[in-house]
Structure 1
Amino acid sequence: MVVVFDAELWIWDARRADSWTFVSLPVEASDEIRDVAGGPRRGFGALRVRATVGDSTWTTSVFPDSARGCYVLPVKRAVRQAEALDAGDIVAVRVELLHS
């Protein structure tokens, strides 16, 4: 399953000092991912994905965010630096669900 969307980079309030930066997947896509993934998941409900932002592609996990009702994708510092991105920027994202 592949999801392509535009989203705003945001910093996780609970770890603001560490500048953990995420994008939220669309709620509809998150519902589809839950349906496809099914069953119990590993730690924190994480699902393995291959993510692409700009020219950067990496393997990571998406995590369910009950407050937002969707999955969230962490965008690591190396990607933000390579793509010259900051919190508040709108980015084009491609997420491919990988089989665990």
Structure 2
Amino acid sequence: MRTMRQEPGIAKERLVQGMALAVLLLMALYVVAGPSGLIAWGENQHLLEQRRAKLVELQGERNHLRNRVELLDPRKADPDLAGELLRSNLNVARSDEMVMLLP
């Protein structure tokens, strides 16, 4: 009975091929599940949509505040807004006004 001996070059070649296969598998795993992989890409798209919606909301709020600042400019203040702020913040009322508290 004969036993086949492997040449040392074949074993070394198999080791190199095995290492190359392991590196390729790790790279494929990184592409799918890495921090910038396919899974993270979908999550990033969802976060981007949420942040765009929040940005639109904040821009609307900023425009509202910008309008109120323009109305309160000391050179040309809006008397209605100034009166409203005085009444609401300082509880100021004229003597001829009647205050009604609602529950």
TM-score normalised by the chain length of structure 1: 0.15
TM-score normalised by the chain length of structure 2: 0.15
Higher RCO (C-alpha under 8 Å, 6+ residues apart): 1
Say which one has the larger Rg.
2
Structure with more strand by fraction = 1
Structure with more helix by fraction = 2
